Chains A and B, each alone.
Chain A
Amino acid sequence: MPEATTAFNKLSTAITIGTFAGFFILWELVSKSGMFNANLFPPPSVILGAFLESFADGEFKRDVSASIFRVGMGFMLGSILGISLGLMTGRVYLFRVTIGQLLNFLRNIPSIAFVPLAIVWLGISEASKIFLVVWGVIFPVWINTHQGAAQINEQYLWAIRSLGANRMQAIKEVVLPSTLPFVVVGLRMGIALAFITLVAAEIAGAFYGIGYRISSSHLIFRVDKMLLGIVTLGLLGFFADKLYVFAIKKTLPWIEIR
């Protein structure tokens, strides 16, 4: 059984790599076929050239590390806030009818709507970017945690209490782990939203970063560099999600995540 699973996993990975290779080869062929203007729709080989150029002068590294720092910080802060708020509003009536309703009001405001305001408040600084990412991350994390904390199977609580748990032990032994599968989903959505808000923030005003590079390359008509930024974002998000799923599988084997 484990051997079969390993073989199956290897096959899955091979198929995934094949799919990606096929995608980029097809892109290369279509782009070079003359069907479209190759200046507007450059092939991957040209984008690879842009990458090598950008990598050589250090621009790529600076952009990517700046973006990863912003996403990472924003995601971390947003997650901590979202999880804490979710546990509060999910478990405590008073918080549900006060903070919970306030969050429901704020939740519907797209973070992109805050971009100009964030610049007015915090300038073109790291703080304004991180603030926007936090705004993007906090709500999916909050509402999933809230839902998970609110719908805990009462029998788990009964079971742990009759095994001798006091209030704090019941929280540690049942409330937190019961909520975790929902937190896991919320965080996964949070990762995607972190990237979305990051790019919005960087396009609006920054000195470097992947979003900034896409936007500034537009001004000098470097379509290859724009696409390099876009592909980089896709790959970063893809690997962030893979890393996340891997980490969950390793640390929380009882949660089924795919």
Chain B
Amino acid sequence: MKNAKKLIVKDLEIVYCKHNRSLTAVKGLSFASRENEFLCLLGPSGCGKTTALNAIGGFLSPKNGEILLNGEPITGPTRRIGIVFQNYALFPWKSVNDNIAAGLRMKGLSPYKIQKTVNYYLKVMQLANYSEFYPNELSGGMQQRVAVARTLANDPEIILMDEPFGSLDAQTRINLQEMLLRIWQEHKKTLIFVTHDIDEALLLGDRILVMTKRPGRIRKEIRNILPRPRFYELSTSNEYAKLKKEVIKSLE
């Protein structure tokens, strides 16, 4: 099952209606993501990559095309597909602990089991001392760590990430990227990661799908052969520079 197609997006078209005008965000978008693969969708802002992700999450209904998870069409949001938003979308009325526990509680697990899982992710995401804090008491980087923990704790089959580190400062971003790499290395989740940052895609992804401008579709597929485990230092290597050139060329 290593290379089984986990998620298939087929000929997707999504049209928005705003102010009495329709806008085609995505058209003819097709790609597949494999089991346990770290897939990056790379494209300029406004290219429809977030729209595509929201459709996969089941939040938007496409005008045309279909999205299949394990061969079954997605009809709406489901706990099988987890998502991390760019601006975290943490529940301000829940403490860090309760944000991370939210999905598990709705599943109706025993409090003991829930707390065990929550404690694990508090530790992994280095939040153990902040479990009683509320989101508005945390920095952006910490909030995003909570959001990642919230999604991971719910153990979805596939995780979507929408420019999760886009609004963080460079230092914090690198820390979180490396943290994400560590966790992914350990848990091997199927991940679809949207970004406009070439370096981020190179550091994280197994494959990089470069998107066109709006209406977005896949322009080029680049296999990221850089060795794992990866760390930020990787970005100084020659292989990295070569691959980066290839990506830049595909964006032109």
Q: Are B89 and A156 in contact (CB under 8 A)?
A: yes
Given contacts A158-B57, A162-B82, contact A153 B76 (CB under 8 A): no
Known: A155-B85, A253-B134, A254-B134. A160 touches B102 (CB 8 A): yes
Secondary structure of the A side of the interface? helix
Q: How many residues of B contact A (CB 8 A)?
A: 28
Residues of B within 8 A of A92 (CB): none
How many angstroms from the CA of A91 to the CA of B83 in the assembled complex? Answer: 24
Give Cα A153 to B134, complex, Å. Answer: 18
Question: Among B81, B82, B93, B103, which residue has the most Cβ atoms of chain A within 10 A?
Answer: B93
Kindly state whether residue A29 has any CB partner on chain B within 8 Å. Answer: no
Q: Is the CB of A162 within 8 A of B89?
A: no
A164 interface neighbour in B78, B87, B134, Cβ under 8 Å: B78
- Which listed residue (A158, A164, A174) contacts B59, Cβ 8 A? A158
Are A254 and B154 interface neighbours, CB within 8 A?
no
Most chain B beta carbons < 10 A, residue from A153, A156, A162, A253: A162
A186 to nearest B CB, angstroms? 17
CB of B219 closer than 8 Å to a CB of A: no
Within the assembled complex, what's the spacing in Å between the Cα atoms of A178 and B89? Answer: 12
Cross-chain contact B107 with A164 (CB below 8 angstroms): yes
Q: Is B150 an interface residue (CB 8 A)?
A: yes
Closest CB in chain A relative to B9 CB, distance in Å? 17
- Residue contact B106 to A169, C-beta cutoff 8 Å: yes
Residue of A nearest to B54 (CB): A158
* B contact residues around A180 at 8 Å (CB): 93
A171 touches B (CB below 8 Å): no
Q: B79: nearest residue on chain A (CB-CB)?
A: A164
Task: Decide yes or no whether B45 CB sits under 8 A from chain A.
Answer: no
Using known A-B contacts A173-B102, A173-B106, A253-B134, determine if residue A162 contacts B78 with beta carbons closer than 8 Å: yes
A165 at the binding interface (Cβ < 8 Å): yes
Q: Tell whether, in the assembled complex, residue B106 and residue A162 are in contact, meaning their CB atoms are under 8 Å apart.
A: no
Q: Is the interface of B mostly helix, strand, loop or mixed?
A: loop
- Which of A156, A162, A164 sits near B91, CB closer than 8 Å? A156
Is A219's beta carbon under 8 Å from chain B? Answer: no
- In the complex, A160→B79 CA distance in Å? 9
B166: Cβ under 8 A from any A Cβ: no
Cβ contact within 8 Å between B57 and A163: no
Min CB–CB distance B143 → chain A (angstroms): 13
Given A252-B93, A254-B93, decide whether A162 and B79 contact each other with a Cβ distance below 8 A: yes
Q: Is the pair B83, A158 in contact by a Cβ cutoff of 8 Å?
A: yes
One digit per residue, 1 when the CB lies within 8 angstroms of any chain B CB and 0 when it does not, for chain A 164-203 equals 1100010001100110100000000000000000000000
* Residues of chain A within 8 A of B150, CB atoms compared: 163
A159, A161, A165 interface centre (most CB from chain B within 10 Å) = A159
Nearest-neighbour CB distance to chain A for B102, whole angstroms, equals 5
A153, B76: Cα distance in complex, Å: 18
Chain A residue with minimal CB distance to B92? A254
Contacts of A155 in B (CB 8 A): 85, 87, 89
CB contacts (< 8 Å) of B107 on chain A: these are 164
With contacts A155-B87, A158-B59, A158-B83 known, is A163 near B102, CB below 8 A? yes
Judge whether B58 is part of the interface by a CB distance below 8 angstroms. yes
Q: Are B93 and A158 in contact (CB under 8 A)?
A: no
User: Are B89 and A159 neighbours in the complex by a CB distance under 8 Å?
Assistant: yes
Bitwise interface map of A from 232 to 258 toward B, beta carbon under 8 Å scored 1, else 0: 000000000000000000001110000
Name 7 A/B residue pairs within 8 A (Cβ), A-sorted: A155-B85, A158-B85, A162-B77, A164-B103, A164-B154, A173-B106, A254-B92
Q: Which residues of B contact A (CB under 8 A)?
A: 54, 57-59, 76-79, 81-83, 85, 87, 89, 91-94, 102-103, 106-107, 134, 136, 150-151, 154, 156
Q: Which residues of A contact B (CB under 8 A)?
A: 153, 155-156, 158-165, 169, 173-174, 177-178, 180, 252-254
